[in-house]
Amino acid sequence: GAVVSQHPSWVICKSGTSVKIECRSLDFQATTMFWYRQFPKQSLMLMATSNEGSKATYEQGVEKDKFLINHASLTLSTLTVTSAHPEDSSFYICSASLTTLVYLEQEQFFGPGTRLTVL
């Protein structure tokens, strides 16, 4: 159980276009989802916390208008990279926590990631 999917798994786009990445919890309801970005040889960088039915909470330094997050249902969160540029090329990973668990055991289940390349 606790499977998270992401789509697409990779995308190549031209500079200036927008790209939407979907994150779905397949067998559980995810009140909270998280979006990370990871550059080569670096650790995960949390971009934002996505809460169903409310605005996302962005980490310091992450541009809200550039990285649009929508969490319209308990099983789907989307990240839209608007006007993408080559420096946005990265590995984007979503995760969801199983909040029905005792909070001390609320691990995050990660999606397989989306590799974005902006030309």
CA dist 34 → 1, 48, 52, 66, 78 (Å): 18, 6, 11, 16, 10
Q: Which range touches other proteins (CB under 8 A), out of 14-22, 61-69, 81-89, 101-109?
A: 101-109
Applying CB under 8 A, the site for other proteins has a residue count of 25
Does 107 help bind other proteins (rule: CB under 8 A)?
yes
Q: Which range touches other proteins (CB under 8 A), out of 15-23, 29-37, 66-74, 77-85?
A: 29-37
Q: Does the CA dihedral 59-64-66-70 come out positive or negative?
A: positive
Alpha-carbon distance 89 to 14, whole Å?
11
Residues 18, 29, 73, 99: which binds other proteins (CB under 8 A)?
A: 99
Q: Rank residues 78 and 97 by Cβ distance to other proteins and give the closer one.
A: 97
Does 118 help bind other proteins (rule: CB under 8 A)?
no
Alpha-carbon distance 15 to 72, whole Å?
28
Does 75 help bind other proteins (rule: CB under 8 A)?
no
Bridge partners, 34 (sequence order): 49, 95
Residues 32, 75, 77, 90: which binds other proteins (CB under 8 A)?
A: 32
Alpha-carbon distance 101 to 60, whole Å?
28
Residues lying near other proteins in the complex (CB under 8 A) are found at 31-32, 34, 42-44, 46, 49, 51, 91, 93, 97-99, 103-113
